[in-house]
Amino acid sequence: MSELLRELDEMPLSLLDTEAGDLHAALDGPTLFHLKGGREPALFICVLMHGNETSGWDAIRQVLRGCVVTEGLRLPRSLSLFVGNTAAAEQGVRHLPDQPDYNRVWPGSETHGTPEHELMKAVMDIMADREIFASIDLHNNTGLNPHYACVNVLEHQSLHLAALFGRTVVYFVRPRGVASMAMAALGPSVTLECGKVGQEHGVQHAADYLRACLHLSEIPAHAVASHDIDLYHTVAVVRVPPELPFAFGDEDGAIRFPRDLDRMNFRELPVGSLIAECHVEPAQALDVRDEQDRQVADQYFILEDGCLVTRVPVMPSMLSCSPEIIRQDCLCYLMERYNDHLADAG
Ligand SMILES: [Zn+2]
């Protein structure tokens, strides 16, 4: 058991009117709710792994409001809801300075030894004992991105769960220690990226999706048709080295990104696409790590006349124009089309 975790078998209905920023005052920390419904096993839902990504909480409380009856809540399927980093939500940040990223410390993480690692292990142990129908972890991002689902295993049921959210699906195995990767050991599992915080259609899309999942009697076990999804595989993560100053537009910086950098998300960039202006070789300007954690900047980028450009066709995702997110998380991920591999899923 983890000293950080609270576990509750009911939810006060007043919580459904509580904004993400007020959850810490109401709950006093990470809380796992088990709410009984018409079918077992429970659907497992994670919200607020990142404290500033509030669409998941807004979506699930909208769904639960629709389930309120005189005796309390009537759910079509049992629900285990994990409300994560309430302390960060109170401050409106991804995580507090003295906390690890909550979505990097689940079992399978490359790091260990913090109370938050124990917390996620405790949640997973509890859910392993109770069994799950499926697992859904809800997030927002900062750049211009479509709504999409991520899977961490190429397995039919997880791909069906992903396709139910939309036709764009991303398969990744790095970073490690994310909730959907850990929970994939227990059942079909996805991460949902619901666009930017504060966009009503992101909340609506997520709420419709969660409602549909709660009503599912089963998740198909046959293959997803290749024409039904656009599957991408994350092949590298791109970071700006911590010591290197960067800027956008014509501001001063050792590396200068175009102001509308995030317009390139989910676009297949031709060779020679401008990523940044700078005067150092790709490997000095960007830390690009492949799935084996090797520096591969020179495979993807080349310096030409003071410009860093792509040297192979790639598709970025999660490109952000937020300096804070770029420092705390990364600049972007690089992806390749992966539909050919759908036939390998089992
Ligand atoms: Zn997130």
Q: Express each pLDDT in 122-164 by its tens digit.
A: 999 999 999 999 999 999 998 899 999 999 999 999 999 999 9
| Strand runs labelled E in 54-185 | 68-69, 72-73, 79-83, 132-139, 148-151, 168-171
Please give the structure tokens belonging to residue 231: 């599957």
Q: How many whole angstroms from 36 Cα to the centroid of ligand 1? A: 27
Q: How many whole angstroms from 177 Cα to the centroid of ligand 1? A: 13
Report the SS3 class of residue 313. Answer: coil
Q: How many whole angstroms from 142 Cα to the centroid of ligand 1? A: 9
Rounded to whole angstroms, the Cα distance separating 213 from 210 reads 5
Rg (the chain; Cα; Å): 20
Q: How many whole angstroms from 49 Cα to the centroid of ligand 1? A: 7
Q: What stretches in the chain show pLDDT beneath 50? A: none
Q: How many helices (H) and strands (E) does the chain have?
A: 10, 19
pLDDT for residue 143: 87
Amino acid at 300: Y
Task: Write phi, then psi, for 24 (nearest 5 degrees).
Answer: -65, -40
Q: How many whole angstroms from 316 Cα to the centroid of ligand 1? A: 17
pLDDT for residue 71: 84
Q: How many whole angstroms from 303 Cα to the centroid of ligand 1? A: 32
Q: How many whole angstroms from 279 Cα to the centroid of ligand 1? A: 32
pLDDT for residue 318: 93
Q: What distances in angstroms separate CA 290 from CA 30, 264, 281, 298, one per listed residue?
A: 33, 20, 18, 12
Q: How many whole angstroms from 113 Cα to the centroid of ligand 1? A: 22
CB of 136 within 8 A of CB of 46?
yes
Report the SS3 class of residue 26. Answer: helix
Q: How many whole angstroms from 16 Cα to the centroid of ligand 1? A: 22
Q: Express each pLDDT in 234-287 by its tens digit.
A: 999 999 999 999 999 988 888 999 999 999 999 999 999 999 999 999 999 999
